[in-house]
Amino acid sequence: MAVFTEVPAEEASRLLAALRLGELVELRGIQGGIENTNYFVTSQQDGQRRDWVLTLFERLTHEQLPFYLHLMKHLALRGIPVPDPQSDGDGDILHTVCGKPAALVDRLRGASELAPGAGHCAAVGDMLARMHLAARDYARQQPNLRGLAWWNQTVPVVLPHVDAAQAALLRSELAFQNHVAESAAYAALPRGPIHADLFRDNVMFEQGEAGPVLTGFFDFYFAGVDTWLFDIAVCLNDWCVHLPTGAHVPERARAFLQAYAARRPLSWAERRLLPAMARAGALRFWVSRLWDLHLPRQAALLQPHDPAHFERVLRQRVACPLTACIP
């Protein structure tokens, strides 16, 4: 369960009062999630009930959080369905609850779709492109803290925990990614704020009359400024993959990419580097999962994700480069 810090009802009531959101009706710890303490909160004001999510940040600091929270606010103001951080009387959206940095955001409707079809992938591709375009004028800067610099720093830390074949693959892939990052095509990739962790469990859908409707993206706490192509690669590696084998599912990848490109056509550099970036996306999560498993931090990761899955995805991306699905 992801409640690392118990929040008493009085603390939640105090926050609702500071945010002028009325009385506390319900406070319920959320099972799931691996990084932060999350609660569902229901408030009532003038007879009207509203649902929120209260997050206490266990890892991120008061200095890092404004980038994520203001990005969500920026996107929400531009009509992208993301949780909107609520501000207090001074206009602040970063609060303190139980001595931890905290935010209260609106609760998205629906549920995650853990067995997506082509229609779900198309909806995610379309919304991802809209999100990239809407974030173009976001002024705050913070790099992707799980980008190339972090892989270079972390691969040596995890190497003692893997076997010889895995170590060879980690070393060779890291060398390949450093080489790609020095290329002219890489320098030409369009960039901006990206989500960087848009897995199936970070998107909500609800059932509409004509089929599933995407109700929002959430969990922006790995966001940063990086190439838009990296965000695309992260999505392809999760939404468009056969989970037991890590194999690419062409029908879903085509649906995702066509919907994305219909909003924002891919540049020549993006088409050229998609296969390499798909490998980068797999390396990123293989390394972070190895790090989380072998070097667990306090108050985090009660259930580390399986690193072997992203080792399989990476091996698949190296053996069968993603080219056929590029629109």
Ligand X SMILES: N[C@@H](CCOP(=O)(O)O)C(=O)O
Ligand Y SMILES: Nc1ncnc2c1ncn2[C@@H]1O[C@H](COP(=O)(O)OP(=O)(O)O)[C@@H](O)[C@H]1O
Residue whose C-beta lies closest to ligand Y: 33
- Please, which residue, 32 or 143, has the CB nearer to ligand Y? 32
Residue 219 interacting with ligand Y (CB under 6 A) = yes
- Please, which residue, 59 or 136, has the CB nearer to ligand Y? 59
* Coil, strand or helix at 324: coil
**Residue 243 and residue 247: Cα distance in Å, rounded?**
7
Interacting residue with ligand X among 42, 44, 112, 202 (CB under 6 A):
202
Residue 226 interacting with ligand X (CB under 6 A) = no
CB 82 within 8 A of CB 72: yes
* Coil, strand or helix at 130: helix
**Residue 261 and residue 276: Cα distance in Å, rounded?**
19
Q: Residue 281's CB: how many other CB atoms inside 10 A? A: 24
Number of residues this chain uses to bind ligand Y (CB under 6 A): 17
CB 38 within 8 A of CB 103: no
Q: Among residue numbers 77 through 96, which ones bind ligand Y (CB under 6 A)?
A: 83
Interacting residue with ligand Y among 3, 14, 29, 33 (CB under 6 A):
33
Residue 299 interacting with ligand Y (CB under 6 A) = no
Partner whose footprint covers residue 133, from ligand X, ligand Y, none (CB < 5 to 8 Å by kind): none
**Residue 29 and residue 37: Cα distance in Å, rounded?**
8
**Helices 250-263 & 118-134 angle (0-180, nearest 10):** 30
- Identify which range of 90-98, 102-110, 134-142, 275-283 contacts ligand Y by CB under 6 A: 102-110
Partner whose footprint covers residue 199, from ligand Y, ligand X, none (CB < 5 to 8 Å by kind): ligand X
Radius of gyration in angstroms for the set of CA atoms belonging to the chain, rounded to a whole number: 20
Residue 145 interacting with ligand Y (CB under 6 A) = no
- Please, which residue, 221 or 256, has the CB nearer to ligand Y? 221
**Residue 261 and residue 277: Cα distance in Å, rounded?**
17
Partner whose footprint covers residue 53, from ligand Y, ligand X, none (CB < 5 to 8 Å by kind): ligand Y
First to last CA, the chain: 41
CB 24 within 8 A of CB 52: no
Residue 105 interacting with ligand Y (CB under 6 A) = yes
Site residues (CB under 6 A) for ligand Y? Answer: 2, 30, 32-36, 38, 53, 83, 105, 107-108, 201, 218-219, 221
Residues found near ligand X in the complex (CB under 6 A): 33-35, 197, 199, 201-202, 219, 285, 288-289, 305
